[in-house]
Amino acid sequence: MRRRRVHGGRPALLVGAFAAVCVVGIAPVGAVLPARADSIRDMEYWLGDYGFSDAWDTTRGAGATVAVIDTGVDGSVAELQGAVVDGTDVSGIGSTNGQTPVGESSEHGTMVASLIAGRGTGDGNGVIGVAPEASLLSISVALGTGSVDSDEQIAHAVRWAVDHGADVINMSLTRNSLDWPQSWDDAFSYAFDHDVVVVAAAGNRGSGTTEVGAPATIPGVVAVAGVDKAGDASFDASSQGITIAVAAPSEQLVGVVPGGGYVLWDGTSGAAPLVSGLAALVKSAYPDLDANNVINRIIATAEPKGDPVPGPIYGYGLVDAEAAVTASVDPVAANPIGDLAAWIATYRPASGGGSLDSLLIPPPSPAPTGAMSGSDSPSRGSDRPEVYTLIHWAVPLGLLLGFLILMATFALGAVSHFRGLLRK
């Protein structure tokens, strides 16, 4: 994720990767830009373009609770006052209420939270989230810098969120690997068993994540890809993989930082909370709907994009908030984007381990550029040669080696003969 400061506050530094798990990082770009709170709202193009403002005619998220597993949410900023109703710290270095930003990427959690449930600062002023009446839980993690193992922090955070009433869990972070530890099997199964929607960022090519990583690879998790203002796949601020569920804006996002002030930023760390907020709107509009059908409403009403659908670039397409809360959608009996329990039974051997090699496809080579023109389906590759490849090359390589040995022998003989002539 890239960012530019546009008003007040202290500088943010979000890193691309610093541990087994990391927030989906950004790098600073550009200069400080002047801005006013009443001009910030005009920058939130996704509110109108993706149907959120129209969805507010039905619901603004009241009654739904979103847990933000991140670097902590500063609930004292104007836009988030009253939004954070509970929290905790699982890193060992934060405050007990989870509202003290921690780690090297400390501003990240507040920025994410403002996109979900920012209240604004007055009539038409400041950042307003896509679910401005939803409640937030702040669970602070310090990935790579806390006293607790990063993987264990995540597992603990997920369980805490479930036990404290989360309807939705937002995870704008990545493990930078396809696989995940067995402790996550238990934690995410616990979330799914307790009817909680889990949303995760796909990651960013600009930060070195060329394909989705866990938790966005976990079956049943809503993996979110990023698009630019035109609705086309972002090159730097997105990733790809067959677990992508939907796509949402990930460029030129505006968020709040601890202590007040605003930043412009790029990345799926911002796309994911837009979808988490959408899940909160759906849950608010249909309080008796289970998590599987909340997810189904989001993907079934998405505007199809790319070929095939679902595909590794856009998933089922671009989110449509108004349709998600108003359209007639047939119910489902299971999570439409995967079953973690079935995956564990099939791929997780009793001795441990497990692999997603059979479930995911690697990114194309070279990587896609621009708006992903041409096929949206990455080509399959392998870092291990197939048997037929070895056979195909073995014979010509052997002949070449024999020829080189023959030439070397001839050269040595010629040198010896020449030296003999000199001695005569």
Q: What backbone torsions phi and psi does residue 86 show, to the nearest 5 degrees?
A: -165, 170
Q: How far, CA to CA in Å, does 174 sit from each of 24, 171, 222, 328?
A: 6, 8, 13, 34
Active site residue 164: no
Out of 114, 140, 269, 284, the active site residue is 269
Contact 20, 174 (CB under 8 A): no
Cβ atoms of 40 and 222 closer than 8 Å: no
383 to 296, 355, 362, 380, 386: CA distances (angstroms): 36, 15, 10, 11, 9
Cβ neighbour number for residue 341 with a 10 Å cutoff: 15
Tell me if 212 sits within 8 A of 243, measured CB to CB. Answer: yes
Give me the long-range contacts of 352-355 (CB less than 8 A, separation at least 24): 352/182, 354/179, 354/182, 355/178, 355/179
Is 355 one of the catalytic residues?
no
How many CB atoms are closer than 10 A to CB 300?
17
Please name which of 252, 311, 303, 246 lies closest in space to residue 279, comparing C-alpha atoms.
Answer: 246
Asked if 102 and 69 touch (Cβ cutoff 8 Å), the reply is no
Catalytic annotation, pick one of 86, 108, 185, 207: 108
What SS3 state is found at 311? strand
Whether 70 is a known active-site residue: answer: yes
| Of the candidates 217, 2, 38, 28, the residue with the CA atom closest to the CA atom of residue 122 | 38
Catalytic residues: 70, 108, 269
